[in-house]
Chain A
Amino acid sequence: MKRIITIALIATYMVFLIFPLYWLVMTSFKSRLEIIGGVTLLPSNPTLNNYYRPLFIDVYGAYIRNSFIISIAEAVFCLALAIPAAYAFSRLKFKADNHFFFWLLTNRMAPAASFLIPYYSMYVYLKLFDTLHGLIIINSIANLPFTIWLLKGFVDGIPKDIEEAAFIDGYTFWQMLYKILLPMLRPALAVLGLFIFVFTWSEMLFASLFTTSPAAMPLSGGLLHYLAQTWVNWGEIAALTIITIIPMLVGIFYLQKYIARALTFGAIR
Protein backbone atom coordinates (compact mmCIF):
# COMPACT_ATOMS: atom_id res chain seq x y z
CA MET A 1 0.00 0.00 0.00
CA LYS A 2 2.73 2.42 1.02
CA ARG A 3 4.64 1.46 -2.09
CA ILE A 4 1.67 2.21 -4.34
CA ILE A 5 1.24 5.66 -2.82
CA THR A 6 4.96 6.34 -3.27
CA ILE A 7 4.86 5.33 -6.91
CA ALA A 8 1.70 7.37 -7.53
CA LEU A 9 3.16 10.48 -5.94
CA ILE A 10 6.44 10.25 -7.82
CA ALA A 11 4.61 9.58 -11.08
CA THR A 12 2.30 12.57 -10.59
CA TYR A 13 5.24 14.80 -9.80
CA MET A 14 7.12 13.59 -12.86
CA VAL A 15 4.16 14.33 -15.12
CA PHE A 16 4.07 17.86 -13.70
CA LEU A 17 7.80 18.19 -14.38
CA ILE A 18 7.96 16.66 -17.81
CA PHE A 19 4.73 17.90 -19.41
CA PRO A 20 6.11 21.42 -20.09
CA LEU A 21 9.11 19.95 -21.94
CA TYR A 22 6.83 17.60 -23.88
CA TRP A 23 4.61 20.50 -24.84
CA LEU A 24 7.60 22.58 -25.93
CA VAL A 25 8.94 19.83 -28.19
CA MET A 26 5.53 19.17 -29.72
CA THR A 27 4.90 22.87 -30.36
CA SER A 28 8.21 23.17 -32.19
CA PHE A 29 7.02 20.59 -34.76
CA LYS A 30 3.63 22.17 -35.37
CA SER A 31 2.69 24.56 -38.14
CA ARG A 32 1.63 28.08 -37.28
CA LEU A 33 -1.98 27.34 -38.17
CA GLU A 34 -2.15 24.29 -35.95
CA ILE A 35 -0.80 26.19 -32.96
CA ILE A 36 -3.37 28.98 -33.29
CA GLY A 37 -6.12 26.53 -34.22
CA GLY A 38 -6.47 24.89 -30.82
CA VAL A 39 -4.86 22.39 -28.48
CA THR A 40 -3.55 19.16 -30.02
CA LEU A 41 -1.40 16.72 -28.08
CA LEU A 42 0.56 15.55 -31.13
CA PRO A 43 1.43 17.57 -34.24
CA SER A 44 -0.90 16.53 -37.07
CA ASN A 45 1.66 17.36 -39.78
CA PRO A 46 5.11 17.37 -38.18
CA THR A 47 7.35 19.98 -39.79
CA LEU A 48 10.94 21.17 -39.39
CA ASN A 49 10.24 24.65 -40.79
CA ASN A 50 10.35 26.20 -37.32
CA TYR A 51 13.98 25.19 -37.03
CA TYR A 52 14.99 25.95 -40.59
CA ARG A 53 14.07 29.62 -40.92
CA PRO A 54 15.68 31.02 -37.72
CA LEU A 55 18.88 29.04 -38.16
CA PHE A 56 19.58 29.28 -41.87
CA ILE A 57 17.76 32.39 -43.08
CA ASP A 58 17.70 34.58 -39.99
CA VAL A 59 20.79 35.44 -37.90
CA TYR A 60 20.32 32.88 -35.12
CA GLY A 61 23.20 30.78 -36.37
CA ALA A 62 25.52 33.69 -35.51
CA TYR A 63 23.94 33.98 -32.05
CA ILE A 64 24.64 30.31 -31.38
CA ARG A 65 28.27 30.79 -32.40
CA ASN A 66 28.57 33.81 -30.07
CA SER A 67 27.05 31.86 -27.20
CA PHE A 68 29.61 29.10 -27.63
CA ILE A 69 32.53 31.53 -27.87
CA ILE A 70 31.47 33.52 -24.81
CA SER A 71 30.65 30.50 -22.66
CA ILE A 72 33.85 28.58 -23.46
CA ALA A 73 36.07 31.64 -23.09
CA GLU A 74 34.35 32.50 -19.81
CA ALA A 75 35.02 29.00 -18.45
CA VAL A 76 38.71 29.19 -19.37
CA PHE A 77 39.06 32.75 -18.06
CA CYS A 78 37.41 32.02 -14.69
CA LEU A 79 39.31 28.79 -14.11
CA ALA A 80 42.65 30.41 -14.98
CA LEU A 81 42.09 33.21 -12.44
CA ALA A 82 40.43 31.00 -9.86
CA ILE A 83 43.11 28.31 -9.55
CA PRO A 84 45.80 30.51 -7.93
CA ALA A 85 43.19 32.42 -5.90
CA ALA A 86 41.61 29.21 -4.59
CA TYR A 87 45.06 27.93 -3.66
CA ALA A 88 45.80 31.13 -1.75
CA PHE A 89 42.54 30.86 0.20
CA SER A 90 42.98 27.18 0.89
CA ARG A 91 46.64 26.95 1.85
CA LEU A 92 47.99 30.34 2.80
CA LYS A 93 47.08 32.63 5.66
CA PHE A 94 46.94 36.28 4.76
CA LYS A 95 45.47 39.37 6.30
CA ALA A 96 41.67 39.53 6.18
CA ASP A 97 41.46 36.40 4.03
CA ASN A 98 38.10 35.42 5.53
CA HIS A 99 36.64 38.83 4.81
CA PHE A 100 37.79 38.65 1.20
CA PHE A 101 36.35 35.19 0.91
CA PHE A 102 32.94 36.33 2.20
CA TRP A 103 33.07 39.43 0.03
CA LEU A 104 33.47 37.18 -3.01
CA LEU A 105 30.21 35.44 -2.33
CA THR A 106 28.27 38.66 -1.81
CA ASN A 107 29.16 39.40 -5.43
CA ARG A 108 27.77 36.06 -6.48
CA MET A 109 24.49 36.75 -4.69
CA ALA A 110 24.10 40.38 -5.80
CA PRO A 111 21.12 40.90 -8.13
CA ALA A 112 22.19 41.53 -11.73
CA ALA A 113 19.49 44.16 -12.16
CA SER A 114 21.14 46.41 -9.59
CA PHE A 115 24.32 46.63 -11.69
CA LEU A 116 22.50 47.37 -14.91
CA ILE A 117 22.59 51.17 -14.83
CA PRO A 118 26.23 51.81 -13.88
CA TYR A 119 27.47 49.06 -16.19
CA TYR A 120 25.66 50.55 -19.13
CA SER A 121 27.53 53.87 -19.00
CA MET A 122 30.82 52.20 -18.04
CA TYR A 123 30.60 49.81 -20.95
CA VAL A 124 29.80 52.49 -23.49
CA TYR A 125 32.64 54.65 -22.16
CA LEU A 126 35.19 51.81 -22.09
CA LYS A 127 34.14 50.60 -25.56
CA LEU A 128 33.13 47.23 -24.14
CA PHE A 129 29.57 47.69 -25.34
CA ASP A 130 28.43 45.19 -27.97
CA THR A 131 31.62 43.12 -27.83
CA LEU A 132 32.25 39.48 -27.00
CA HIS A 133 34.98 40.24 -24.46
CA GLY A 134 32.70 42.78 -22.76
CA LEU A 135 30.20 40.02 -22.04
CA ILE A 136 32.96 37.69 -20.87
CA ILE A 137 34.13 40.26 -18.32
CA ILE A 138 30.64 41.07 -17.10
CA ASN A 139 29.74 37.42 -16.62
CA SER A 140 32.69 36.88 -14.34
CA ILE A 141 31.16 39.04 -11.58
CA ALA A 142 29.04 36.02 -10.63
CA ASN A 143 31.09 33.16 -12.08
CA LEU A 144 34.52 34.01 -10.72
CA PRO A 145 33.42 34.14 -7.05
CA PHE A 146 31.46 30.93 -7.59
CA THR A 147 34.52 29.20 -9.06
CA ILE A 148 36.97 30.36 -6.40
CA TRP A 149 34.57 29.46 -3.59
CA LEU A 150 34.01 25.89 -4.81
CA LEU A 151 37.55 25.29 -6.02
CA LYS A 152 38.83 26.15 -2.55
CA GLY A 153 36.72 23.26 -1.23
CA PHE A 154 38.32 20.89 -3.73
CA VAL A 155 41.86 22.11 -2.94
CA ASP A 156 41.10 21.64 0.77
CA GLY A 157 40.44 17.98 0.01
CA ILE A 158 43.97 17.37 -1.35
CA PRO A 159 46.50 16.36 1.32
CA LYS A 160 49.27 18.89 1.92
CA ASP A 161 51.99 16.22 2.11
CA ILE A 162 52.03 15.85 -1.66
CA GLU A 163 52.93 19.50 -2.17
CA GLU A 164 55.55 19.42 0.52
CA ALA A 165 57.16 16.36 -1.05
CA ALA A 166 57.26 18.24 -4.36
CA PHE A 167 58.95 21.25 -2.74
CA ILE A 168 61.54 18.96 -1.15
CA ASP A 169 62.20 17.52 -4.60
CA GLY A 170 63.09 21.03 -5.70
CA TYR A 171 59.93 22.08 -7.53
CA THR A 172 59.25 25.79 -7.66
CA PHE A 173 55.76 26.93 -6.68
CA TRP A 174 54.47 27.24 -10.24
CA GLN A 175 55.97 23.88 -11.25
CA MET A 176 54.22 22.29 -8.29
CA LEU A 177 50.94 24.00 -9.23
CA TYR A 178 50.97 22.85 -12.83
CA LYS A 179 52.62 19.43 -12.51
CA ILE A 180 51.20 18.18 -9.22
CA LEU A 181 48.09 20.10 -8.23
CA LEU A 182 46.38 20.64 -11.59
CA PRO A 183 46.30 16.97 -12.60
CA MET A 184 44.73 16.12 -9.24
CA LEU A 185 42.13 18.85 -9.66
CA ARG A 186 41.24 17.86 -13.20
CA PRO A 187 37.83 16.26 -12.42
CA ALA A 188 36.86 19.29 -10.31
CA LEU A 189 37.97 21.67 -13.07
CA ALA A 190 35.87 19.81 -15.62
CA VAL A 191 32.76 20.02 -13.44
CA LEU A 192 33.28 23.69 -12.57
CA GLY A 193 34.06 24.54 -16.19
CA LEU A 194 30.78 22.97 -17.26
CA PHE A 195 28.86 24.88 -14.60
CA ILE A 196 30.43 28.17 -15.72
CA PHE A 197 29.51 27.27 -19.29
CA VAL A 198 25.90 26.66 -18.25
CA PHE A 199 25.61 29.88 -16.22
CA THR A 200 27.15 31.99 -18.99
CA TRP A 201 24.97 30.38 -21.63
CA SER A 202 21.91 31.14 -19.48
CA GLU A 203 22.64 34.76 -18.65
CA MET A 204 20.01 36.97 -20.24
CA LEU A 205 19.87 40.51 -18.84
CA PHE A 206 23.34 41.71 -19.85
CA ALA A 207 23.33 39.55 -22.98
CA SER A 208 20.19 41.25 -24.27
CA LEU A 209 20.97 44.84 -23.24
CA PHE A 210 24.72 45.13 -23.75
CA THR A 211 24.86 43.65 -27.23
CA THR A 212 23.01 44.77 -30.32
CA SER A 213 24.66 43.22 -33.37
CA PRO A 214 24.94 39.63 -34.60
CA ALA A 215 28.70 40.01 -34.12
CA ALA A 216 28.31 39.86 -30.34
CA MET A 217 24.78 38.94 -29.28
CA PRO A 218 24.42 35.49 -27.73
CA LEU A 219 21.45 33.18 -28.06
CA SER A 220 19.75 34.14 -24.79
CA GLY A 221 19.70 37.79 -25.86
CA GLY A 222 18.50 36.84 -29.32
CA LEU A 223 15.68 34.75 -27.90
CA LEU A 224 14.51 37.65 -25.73
CA HIS A 225 14.50 39.98 -28.71
CA TYR A 226 12.55 37.47 -30.74
CA LEU A 227 9.99 37.17 -27.94
CA ALA A 228 9.71 40.95 -27.73
CA GLN A 229 9.37 41.54 -31.47
CA THR A 230 7.07 39.03 -33.06
CA TRP A 231 4.21 37.78 -31.02
CA VAL A 232 3.07 35.52 -33.78
CA ASN A 233 5.22 32.54 -34.65
CA TRP A 234 5.13 30.41 -31.54
CA GLY A 235 6.51 27.40 -33.38
CA GLU A 236 9.76 29.24 -34.06
CA ILE A 237 9.93 30.43 -30.47
CA ALA A 238 9.56 26.83 -29.31
CA ALA A 239 12.28 25.71 -31.74
CA LEU A 240 14.69 28.43 -30.59
CA THR A 241 13.94 27.60 -26.97
CA ILE A 242 14.81 23.96 -27.61
CA ILE A 243 18.05 24.97 -29.32
CA THR A 244 18.89 27.10 -26.28
CA ILE A 245 18.18 24.20 -23.90
CA ILE A 246 19.88 21.30 -25.76
CA PRO A 247 23.49 21.93 -24.62
CA MET A 248 22.21 22.11 -21.03
CA LEU A 249 20.34 18.79 -21.33
CA VAL A 250 23.56 17.13 -22.44
CA GLY A 251 25.23 18.50 -19.32
CA ILE A 252 22.61 17.18 -16.90
CA PHE A 253 23.82 13.57 -17.12
CA TYR A 254 27.28 14.62 -16.10
CA LEU A 255 26.45 17.38 -13.63
CA GLN A 256 23.42 15.94 -11.82
CA LYS A 257 25.35 14.57 -8.86
CA TYR A 258 27.26 17.85 -8.37
CA ILE A 259 24.24 20.18 -8.51
CA ALA A 260 23.51 20.10 -4.77
CA ARG A 261 27.13 20.88 -3.95
CA ALA A 262 27.59 23.56 -6.61
CA LEU A 263 24.41 25.53 -6.00
CA THR A 264 24.90 25.54 -2.23
CA PHE A 265 28.53 26.68 -2.63
CA GLY A 266 29.83 23.47 -1.11
CA ALA A 267 27.66 23.63 2.01
CA ILE A 268 26.04 20.31 1.03
CA ARG A 269 28.24 17.56 -0.35
Chain B
Amino acid sequence: MRAVNPWLLFLPAFIVVGFNSFLPIVYAAYLSTQRFYLTGIEAKFIGYDNFTALMFDETVWRSLLTGAAFVVTCLVIEIPLGLVMALMMFKESKLNRVIRTLISYPILMPPITVGAVWLLLTRPDIGPIPNFLNQFGIVYDIGSNPFHAFFTVVAMDVWYWTPFVILVFVAARASISPEQYESAMVDGASSWHIFRYITFPGLRYALVVVLLIRMIDSLKIFDQVWILTSEGPYKATNFMSIYIVKTAIGQLNVGYGAALSLFFLFIIIILTFVMLKLVFGRRSSS
Protein backbone atom coordinates (compact mmCIF):
# COMPACT_ATOMS: atom_id res chain seq x y z
CA MET B 1 0.00 0.00 0.00
CA ARG B 2 2.93 2.31 0.67
CA ALA B 3 4.53 1.25 -2.59
CA VAL B 4 5.07 4.80 -3.71
CA ASN B 5 8.30 6.67 -3.13
CA PRO B 6 7.74 10.29 -2.00
CA TRP B 7 10.87 11.42 -3.85
CA LEU B 8 9.40 10.13 -7.09
CA LEU B 9 6.27 12.21 -6.58
CA PHE B 10 8.26 15.34 -5.81
CA LEU B 11 10.95 14.83 -8.45
CA PRO B 12 9.31 16.39 -11.55
CA ALA B 13 8.42 19.55 -9.67
CA PHE B 14 11.88 19.60 -8.09
CA ILE B 15 13.56 19.40 -11.49
CA VAL B 16 11.52 22.27 -12.92
CA VAL B 17 11.94 24.57 -9.91
CA GLY B 18 15.59 23.56 -9.58
CA PHE B 19 16.25 24.29 -13.25
CA ASN B 20 14.63 27.66 -12.69
CA SER B 21 16.47 28.58 -9.52
CA PHE B 22 19.73 26.65 -8.90
CA LEU B 23 21.03 26.97 -12.43
CA PRO B 24 20.50 30.75 -12.72
CA ILE B 25 21.97 31.37 -9.27
CA VAL B 26 25.09 29.36 -10.06
CA TYR B 27 25.42 31.12 -13.39
CA ALA B 28 24.84 34.54 -11.80
CA ALA B 29 27.54 33.70 -9.27
CA TYR B 30 29.93 32.97 -12.14
CA LEU B 31 28.97 36.16 -14.00
CA SER B 32 29.41 38.25 -10.88
CA THR B 33 33.14 37.43 -10.89
CA GLN B 34 33.57 38.82 -14.40
CA ARG B 35 34.01 42.24 -15.89
CA PHE B 36 31.50 41.64 -18.64
CA TYR B 37 29.56 44.02 -20.86
CA LEU B 38 27.16 42.77 -23.53
CA THR B 39 28.98 44.84 -26.12
CA GLY B 40 31.23 42.21 -27.64
CA ILE B 41 34.27 42.94 -25.49
CA GLU B 42 35.63 39.75 -24.00
CA ALA B 43 34.80 38.99 -20.36
CA LYS B 44 37.57 39.15 -17.83
CA PHE B 45 37.86 37.48 -14.44
CA ILE B 46 38.08 40.07 -11.68
CA GLY B 47 37.33 38.02 -8.55
CA TYR B 48 35.10 39.78 -6.04
CA ASP B 49 35.77 43.28 -7.39
CA ASN B 50 32.12 43.64 -8.41
CA PHE B 51 31.06 43.06 -4.82
CA THR B 52 33.61 45.55 -3.52
CA ALA B 53 32.30 48.08 -6.03
CA LEU B 54 28.76 47.32 -4.84
CA MET B 55 29.65 48.11 -1.24
CA PHE B 56 30.93 51.53 -2.26
CA ASP B 57 28.19 52.21 -4.81
CA GLU B 58 26.11 55.04 -3.41
CA THR B 59 23.22 54.21 -5.72
CA VAL B 60 22.84 50.75 -4.17
CA TRP B 61 22.39 52.15 -0.68
CA ARG B 62 20.15 54.92 -1.91
CA SER B 63 17.98 52.36 -3.74
CA LEU B 64 17.66 50.26 -0.60
CA LEU B 65 16.85 53.35 1.45
CA THR B 66 14.27 54.48 -1.12
CA GLY B 67 12.79 50.99 -0.99
CA ALA B 68 12.67 51.02 2.82
CA ALA B 69 11.04 54.47 2.87
CA PHE B 70 8.54 53.25 0.29
CA VAL B 71 7.69 50.10 2.25
CA VAL B 72 7.19 52.01 5.50
CA THR B 73 5.07 54.74 3.89
CA CYS B 74 2.88 52.20 2.11
CA LEU B 75 2.34 50.04 5.19
CA VAL B 76 1.58 53.02 7.42
CA ILE B 77 -1.28 53.92 5.06
CA GLU B 78 -2.45 50.50 3.86
CA ILE B 79 -2.71 48.70 7.20
CA PRO B 80 -4.86 51.22 9.13
CA LEU B 81 -6.97 51.98 6.05
CA GLY B 82 -7.43 48.29 5.35
CA LEU B 83 -8.30 47.57 8.97
CA VAL B 84 -10.91 50.34 9.20
CA MET B 85 -12.50 49.36 5.89
CA ALA B 86 -12.50 45.67 6.80
CA LEU B 87 -14.27 46.33 10.10
CA MET B 88 -16.91 48.33 8.25
CA MET B 89 -17.65 45.71 5.60
CA PHE B 90 -16.94 42.31 7.16
CA LYS B 91 -20.56 41.41 8.05
CA GLU B 92 -22.19 38.88 5.75
CA SER B 93 -24.87 40.72 3.82
CA LYS B 94 -25.70 40.93 0.16
CA LEU B 95 -24.59 44.56 -0.05
CA ASN B 96 -21.27 43.87 1.68
CA ARG B 97 -20.58 40.97 -0.65
CA VAL B 98 -21.15 43.21 -3.65
CA ILE B 99 -18.94 45.93 -2.16
CA ARG B 100 -16.17 43.44 -1.42
CA THR B 101 -16.27 42.09 -4.97
CA LEU B 102 -16.20 45.62 -6.42
CA ILE B 103 -13.27 46.77 -4.31
CA SER B 104 -11.18 43.68 -5.02
CA TYR B 105 -10.88 44.26 -8.75
CA PRO B 106 -7.45 45.95 -8.62
CA ILE B 107 -5.86 42.86 -7.02
CA LEU B 108 -6.24 40.78 -10.17
CA MET B 109 -5.15 43.55 -12.54
CA PRO B 110 -1.78 42.86 -14.17
CA PRO B 111 0.81 45.26 -12.65
CA ILE B 112 1.65 46.63 -16.09
CA THR B 113 -1.95 47.75 -16.57
CA VAL B 114 -1.88 49.41 -13.15
CA GLY B 115 1.13 51.41 -14.33
CA ALA B 116 -0.64 52.30 -17.58
CA VAL B 117 -3.80 53.44 -15.78
CA TRP B 118 -1.87 55.66 -13.38
CA LEU B 119 0.12 57.06 -16.28
CA LEU B 120 -3.14 58.12 -17.93
CA LEU B 121 -4.25 59.72 -14.65
CA THR B 122 -1.06 61.58 -13.78
CA ARG B 123 0.69 62.60 -16.99
CA PRO B 124 1.03 66.39 -16.93
CA ASP B 125 -0.26 66.83 -20.49
CA ILE B 126 -3.35 64.60 -20.48
CA GLY B 127 -4.01 63.50 -16.88
CA PRO B 128 -7.06 64.65 -14.96
CA ILE B 129 -5.18 64.90 -11.64
CA PRO B 130 -2.56 67.47 -12.72
CA ASN B 131 -5.30 69.25 -14.63
CA PHE B 132 -7.52 69.41 -11.56
CA LEU B 133 -4.72 70.61 -9.28
CA ASN B 134 -3.71 73.19 -11.85
CA GLN B 135 -6.99 75.00 -11.32
CA PHE B 136 -5.88 75.72 -7.77
CA GLY B 137 -2.48 76.85 -8.98
CA ILE B 138 -0.72 73.68 -7.88
CA VAL B 139 1.87 72.37 -10.32
CA TYR B 140 1.94 68.60 -10.14
CA ASP B 141 4.53 66.84 -12.25
CA ILE B 142 5.77 63.31 -11.58
CA GLY B 143 8.38 63.74 -14.29
CA SER B 144 10.36 66.52 -12.61
CA ASN B 145 9.39 66.67 -8.93
CA PRO B 146 10.92 63.83 -6.87
CA PHE B 147 8.31 64.13 -4.08
CA HIS B 148 5.42 63.99 -6.52
CA ALA B 149 6.97 60.94 -8.20
CA PHE B 150 7.57 59.11 -4.92
CA PHE B 151 4.16 59.81 -3.42
CA THR B 152 2.35 59.02 -6.66
CA VAL B 153 3.98 55.59 -6.61
CA VAL B 154 2.87 55.28 -2.97
CA ALA B 155 -0.69 56.27 -3.92
CA MET B 156 -0.64 53.71 -6.72
CA ASP B 157 0.48 51.00 -4.31
CA VAL B 158 -2.19 51.98 -1.76
CA TRP B 159 -4.78 51.86 -4.52
CA TYR B 160 -3.50 48.49 -5.77
CA TRP B 161 -2.94 46.61 -2.50
CA THR B 162 -5.27 47.98 0.19
CA PRO B 163 -8.11 45.75 -1.13
CA PHE B 164 -5.93 42.71 -0.42
CA VAL B 165 -5.31 43.96 3.14
CA ILE B 166 -9.07 44.44 3.54
CA LEU B 167 -9.84 40.90 2.34
CA VAL B 168 -7.28 39.40 4.73
CA PHE B 169 -8.72 41.31 7.71
CA VAL B 170 -12.28 40.44 6.65
CA ALA B 171 -11.37 36.75 6.61
CA ALA B 172 -9.62 37.01 9.99
CA ARG B 173 -12.44 39.02 11.57
CA ALA B 174 -15.02 36.50 10.36
CA SER B 175 -13.16 33.73 12.16
CA ILE B 176 -13.46 35.36 15.62
CA SER B 177 -16.31 33.60 17.40
CA PRO B 178 -19.41 35.77 17.91
CA GLU B 179 -19.88 34.44 21.46
CA GLN B 180 -16.92 36.50 22.62
CA TYR B 181 -18.70 39.65 21.49
CA GLU B 182 -22.00 38.56 23.01
CA SER B 183 -20.52 37.98 26.43
CA ALA B 184 -18.64 41.27 26.24
CA MET B 185 -21.93 43.03 25.44
CA VAL B 186 -23.59 41.36 28.41
CA ASP B 187 -20.78 42.57 30.63
CA GLY B 188 -21.29 46.09 29.28
CA ALA B 189 -17.84 46.53 27.76
CA SER B 190 -17.22 49.76 25.84
CA SER B 191 -16.63 49.53 22.10
CA TRP B 192 -12.99 50.54 22.61
CA HIS B 193 -12.52 47.74 25.12
CA ILE B 194 -14.16 45.28 22.75
CA PHE B 195 -11.74 46.33 20.01
CA ARG B 196 -8.75 46.31 22.35
CA TYR B 197 -9.39 42.97 24.05
CA ILE B 198 -11.32 40.92 21.48
CA THR B 199 -11.00 42.23 17.93
CA PHE B 200 -7.35 43.26 18.00
CA PRO B 201 -5.99 40.04 19.56
CA GLY B 202 -8.11 38.08 17.07
CA LEU B 203 -6.54 39.96 14.18
CA ARG B 204 -2.95 39.93 15.41
CA TYR B 205 -1.91 36.88 13.38
CA ALA B 206 -3.46 38.34 10.22
CA LEU B 207 -1.60 41.58 10.93
CA VAL B 208 1.77 39.81 11.08
CA VAL B 209 1.01 37.87 7.89
CA VAL B 210 -0.09 40.89 5.92
CA LEU B 211 2.77 43.07 7.20
CA LEU B 212 5.44 40.57 6.15
CA ILE B 213 3.94 39.70 2.79
CA ARG B 214 3.30 43.32 1.86
CA MET B 215 6.81 44.24 3.04
CA ILE B 216 8.53 41.72 0.78
CA ASP B 217 6.22 42.46 -2.15
CA SER B 218 6.67 46.25 -1.94
CA LEU B 219 10.43 45.88 -1.70
CA LYS B 220 10.38 43.90 -4.97
CA ILE B 221 8.11 46.36 -6.76
CA PHE B 222 8.98 46.72 -10.44
CA ASP B 223 6.41 46.58 -13.25
CA GLN B 224 4.14 49.48 -12.27
CA VAL B 225 7.03 51.77 -11.40
CA TRP B 226 8.92 50.86 -14.58
CA ILE B 227 5.93 52.13 -16.57
CA LEU B 228 4.99 55.12 -14.44
CA THR B 229 8.23 56.84 -13.43
CA SER B 230 11.04 54.36 -14.09
CA GLU B 231 13.93 55.60 -11.91
CA GLY B 232 12.12 58.89 -11.47
CA PRO B 233 13.38 62.46 -11.22
CA TYR B 234 16.55 62.61 -9.10
CA LYS B 235 16.23 58.82 -8.76
CA ALA B 236 13.25 59.30 -6.44
CA THR B 237 11.76 55.93 -7.40
CA ASN B 238 14.94 54.06 -8.25
CA PHE B 239 14.08 50.88 -6.36
CA MET B 240 16.48 47.95 -6.35
CA SER B 241 14.68 46.01 -9.12
CA ILE B 242 14.69 49.11 -11.31
CA TYR B 243 18.39 49.65 -10.70
CA ILE B 244 19.21 46.02 -11.58
CA VAL B 245 17.25 46.11 -14.84
CA LYS B 246 18.74 49.52 -15.73
CA THR B 247 22.24 48.18 -15.12
CA ALA B 248 21.66 45.02 -17.13
CA ILE B 249 19.65 46.42 -20.03
CA GLY B 250 20.45 50.12 -20.04
CA GLN B 251 24.21 49.85 -19.50
CA LEU B 252 24.60 46.21 -20.63
CA ASN B 253 26.81 45.80 -17.56
CA VAL B 254 26.14 42.12 -17.03
CA GLY B 255 28.88 41.32 -14.52
CA TYR B 256 27.96 44.08 -12.11
CA GLY B 257 24.25 43.48 -12.70
CA ALA B 258 24.71 39.85 -11.66
CA ALA B 259 26.43 40.96 -8.45
CA LEU B 260 23.56 43.35 -7.72
CA SER B 261 21.05 40.55 -8.44
CA LEU B 262 22.68 38.18 -5.97
CA PHE B 263 22.92 40.88 -3.32
CA PHE B 264 19.22 41.74 -3.67
CA LEU B 265 18.21 38.07 -3.80
CA PHE B 266 20.14 37.52 -0.57
CA ILE B 267 18.21 40.30 1.20
CA ILE B 268 14.84 38.99 0.00
CA ILE B 269 15.66 35.39 0.95
CA ILE B 270 16.55 36.47 4.49
CA LEU B 271 13.28 38.39 4.78
CA THR B 272 11.34 35.43 3.36
CA PHE B 273 13.01 33.13 5.85
CA VAL B 274 11.99 35.40 8.73
CA MET B 275 8.45 35.48 7.37
CA LEU B 276 8.27 31.69 7.07
CA LYS B 277 9.54 31.22 10.62
CA LEU B 278 7.12 33.74 12.09
CA VAL B 279 4.05 32.86 10.04
CA PHE B 280 4.36 29.17 9.29
CA GLY B 281 7.01 28.04 11.76
CA ARG B 282 4.68 27.30 14.63
CA ARG B 283 2.29 25.35 12.45
CA SER B 284 4.80 23.13 10.64
CA SER B 285 6.75 22.35 13.80
CA SER B 286 3.65 21.05 15.54
Chain A residues proximal to chain B, CB less than 8 Å = 6, 9-10, 13-14, 16-18, 20-21, 23-24, 27, 35-36, 38-39, 81-82, 84-85, 87-89, 92-94, 97-98, 100-102, 104-107, 109-122, 137-138, 140-141, 144-145, 148, 164, 167, 172-173, 198, 201-205, 209, 220, 223-224, 227, 234, 237-238, 241, 244-245, 248-249, 251-253, 255-256, 259-261, 263-265, 267-269
Contacts and interface: CB of A to CB of B under 8 A. Distances in A.
A74 to B, nearest CB: 11
B241 A260 contact: no
A39 B131 contact: yes
B75 interface: no
B10 A84 contact: yes
Interface stretch (B145-153, B192-200, B266-274): B266-274
Contacts of B265: 110-111, 114
A13 B284 CA distance: 38
Contacts, number: 266
A224 B244 contact: no
A188 to B, nearest CB: 17
B9 A84 contact: yes
A89 B105 contact: no
Given A118-B258, A122-B27, A38 B89 contact: no
Nearest to A209: B249
Nearest to B161: A263
Interface stretch (B53-61, B118-126, B181-189): B118-126
Interface string B157-179: 00100011001101110010000
Given A116-B261, A244-B110, 9 more contacts: A84-B10, A109-B220, A111-B268, A112-B220, A137-B16, A173-B4, A203-B110, A227-B119, A268-B171
Nearest to B123: A234
A24 B81 CA distance: 25
**Interface range for B:** 35 or more
A204 B112 contact: yes
A259 B110 contact: no
B113 A244 contact: yes
Contacts of B220: 109, 111-113
Contacts of A84: 8-10, 12-13
Interface string B93-108: 0000001111111111
A261 B14 CA distance: 24
B21 interface: yes
Contacts of B271: 109
B13 A148 contact: yes
Contact of B244 (A38, A114, A140, A167): A114
A144 B132 CA distance: 45
Given A113-B264, A114-B262, A241 B6 contact: no
Contacts of B168: 260, 263-264, 268
27 contacts: A14-B103, A17-B103, A17-B159, A17-B163, A36-B125, A88-B9, A109-B272, A110-B21, A110-B272, A111-B220, A114-B262, A115-B24, A117-B254, A118-B24, A118-B27, A118-B28, A121-B27, A122-B27, A202-B109, A223-B112, A224-B112, A234-B126, A238-B116, A238-B120, A245-B113, A251-B108, A260-B167
Which A-B residue pairs are the 9 nearest by beta carbons?
A202-B110, A141-B20, A118-B24, A84-B9, A114-B261, A113-B241, A88-B9, A92-B6, A118-B27
B45 interface: no
B72 interface: no
B12 A106 contact: no
B125 A117 contact: no
B216 interface: yes
Nearest to B165: A260
B7 interface: yes
B12 A260 contact: no
Given A21-B105, A24-B117, A27-B120, A204 B223 contact: yes
B210 interface: yes
Contacts of A117: 28, 31, 248, 254, 257-258, 261
A227 B116 contact: yes
Contacts of A140: 16-17, 20
Contacts of B279: 267
B226 to A, nearest CB: 8
A245 B110 contact: yes
A18 B171 contact: no
Nearest to A167: B1
A97 B223 CA distance: 34
Given A10-B99, A35-B126, A148-B13, A234 B272 contact: no
A20 to B, nearest CB: 5
A244 B112 contact: yes
Contact of A252 (B23, B108, B132, B216): B108
A27 to B, nearest CB: 6
Contacts of A144: 13, 16-17
